[in-house]
Amino acid sequence: MKCDLEQIVRTHGDMVLRLALSNTGNKADAEDVFQEVFIRLVRSIDKIENEEHLRYWLIRATINRCKSLFSSGSRKKELPVDELPEQAENTFDVEEDTPATDALCELPEKYRTPIHLFYFEDLSIAEISRILESSEGTIKSQLSRGRKMLSESLKKVSHV
Amino acid sequence: MFEKEYRHEMSKVQASESLISDTLQKMKAEQDKLQTEECVDPAGQQGAVDKGVVVGKQAPSEKRQRARIVRIFVPAAAACLVVALLGVVLIPQFIPNTEQDSSIEYVFQPVEGSTSIMGDIQFGNIGEQAAGIEGLKLTESSKDHLPEGILEGSPVVFWDHSVFLGYDEQQNTYYAAYQEESSDEVWAVLHSTDLEKSDFIDALRAYFAQ
């Protein structure tokens, strides 16, 4: 696939970043994942056939990179605001009050990705099952259980 | 409600210009590194030599390369063929004959036209038809393998691909069967499971206590 890498980063970067954030729950880790995914893309770009394949590749690579991050134990800690370096430019803004995102990040990992892909990226169950290499039945049950856990979690937050 | 809030929160997450430009710089560095690697790749080295670039060890001649391929790949291919032939001969002997092997324990046998079990917890009775648990019945052979008291008509709890049959407090053993994804058969699993035990098991106990 012929491409302009910069165009790809600008077109799909937000998607990668959001998926990374939904998995890591952490801005710094999400940014690391973002960079790693696109750096890896440089080596794999010739194998990408079309736009849809690219999108699937990016999603899959982001998920794999997030998993590697968890398994390697190299996750970064959030620093308190007064310990941040003066020039923290490579950041993105997230609202302080994000109960829905926080609730999602508390779910077990296997539920987070299907929920994010279904509710935010608007992928169908068939597409999600293809990307995650799981059966549609498994994706449906993960969505169902994840939704249930989220509603319980959000109920607790609203009662506080 | 969650969907709306989540979409609202996530829509505000955007990669900053500095993150993008830093990433692009690193991608460029990776591209340069890749091009350098391609220049030292033996497959492309003839081209590099033609251009007068000396990049290290000279590539082996084509004749030596062919000899190496024959030396390595032909025996490997022969070994694979032998293993495949052995597999074709030996593996069928290990596949159990489902009609004659009494150690295979069918708890349920789907009735023709039944669908797989999915979704949330559902309560029902063996042999009955209800939403999500259509077409399941005990087979003759399975009755001998089930814990005492689980018969046609016994209450069961279905969850996703699993069917919970009961819990023996004395032995601290859950009796369950699970549906394999690749098959419509349901197999008995007569031991404690590693299934999530939170609200589901509480619901299970409450149901069987009725």
Q: Which of A56-65, B86-95, B117-126 has the lowest mean pLDDT?
A: B117-126
3-state helix, strand and coil shares in percent for chain B, rounded to the nearest 5 = 45, 15, 40
> How many Cβ atoms are within 10 Å of A42's Cβ, its own excluded?
18
Q: Between A10, A21, A119, which is nearest B3 by CB?
A: A119
Q: How confident is the model at residue B64 (pLDDT cuts 50, 70, 90)?
A: low
Task: State which amino acid sits at residue A19.
Answer: L
Residue A56 CA to residue A47 CA, distance in Å, equals: 13
Which pLDDT score is estimated for A69?
78
Query: In B, what residues contact A, Cβ < 8 A?
Result: 1-3, 5-10, 12-16, 18-20, 22-24, 26-27, 30-31, 34, 116, 118-120, 160-161, 181
pLDDT digits (tens, 9 = 90+) for B147-192: 555 555 555 655 555 566 655 555 555 555 554 444 444 444 433 4
More confident residue, A15 or A68: A15
Residue B158 CA to residue B163 CA, distance in Å, equals: 5
Return the SS3 of B168: strand
> How many Cβ atoms are within 10 Å of A91's Cβ, its own excluded?
14
What's the gap between Cα B5 and its chain centre? 33
- Chain B residue numbers with beta carbons less than 8 Å from the beta carbon of A144 are 119-120
Position B144 pLDDT exceeds 70? no
Q: Between B6, B12, B34, which is nearest A42 by CB?
A: B34
Model ipTM value: 0.78
- To the nearest whole Å, the CA of A137 is away from the closest chain B CA by 7
Write out the E strands in chain A.
Answer: none
Residue B28 CA to residue B21 CA, distance in Å, equals: 10
Q: To the nearest whole percent, how much of chain B has pLDDT over 70?
A: 30
Position A97 pLDDT exceeds 60? yes
Asked if A106 and A156 touch (Cβ cutoff 8 Å), the reply is: no
Contact B120 A148 (CB under 8 A): yes
pLDDT digits (tens, 9 = 90+) for A137-153: 888 888 888 888 888 87
Which pLDDT score is estimated for B111?
36
Which pLDDT score is estimated for A151?
80
Token pair recorded at residue B139: 């087979």
**Summary mean pLDDT of chain B:** 60
Asked if A137 and A91 touch (Cβ cutoff 8 Å), the reply is: no
In chain A, residues 47-86 whose CB comes closer than 8 Å to chain B: none
Residue A133 CA to residue B154 CA, distance in Å, equals: 36
Contact B30 A34 (CB under 8 A): no
Residue B109 CA to residue B187 CA, distance in Å, equals: 9
Scanning every residue of chain A, which has its alpha carbon at the shortest distance from the alpha carbon of B25? A39
- Chain A residue numbers with beta carbons less than 8 Å from the beta carbon of B30 are 39, 42-43
- Chain B residue numbers with beta carbons less than 8 Å from the beta carbon of A39 are 23, 26-27, 30
Scanning every residue of chain A, which has its alpha carbon at the shortest distance from the alpha carbon of B10? A18
Residue B210 CA to residue B205 CA, distance in Å, equals: 9
Strand-pairing partners, residue A88, are none
Q: Between B13, B18, B31, which is nearest A14 by CB?
A: B13
Contact B34 A99 (CB under 8 A): no
pLDDT digits (tens, 9 = 90+) for A4-50: 889 999 999 999 999 999 888 888 999 999 999 999 999 888 888 88
pLDDT digits (tens, 9 = 90+) for B123-132: 555 555 443 3
Q: Between B8, B23, B160, which is nearest A38 by CB?
A: B23
pTM over 0.80: no
User: What is the signed CA dihedral for B149, B155, B158, B162, rounded to 10 degrees?
Assistant: 10
Burial call A120-136: b when 16+ CB within 10 Å, e when fewer: bbebebebbbebbebee
Indicate which of B7, B10, B162 best probes the interface with A, i.e. most A CBs within 10 Å of its own CB: B10
Asked if A137 and B161 touch (Cβ cutoff 8 Å), the reply is: yes
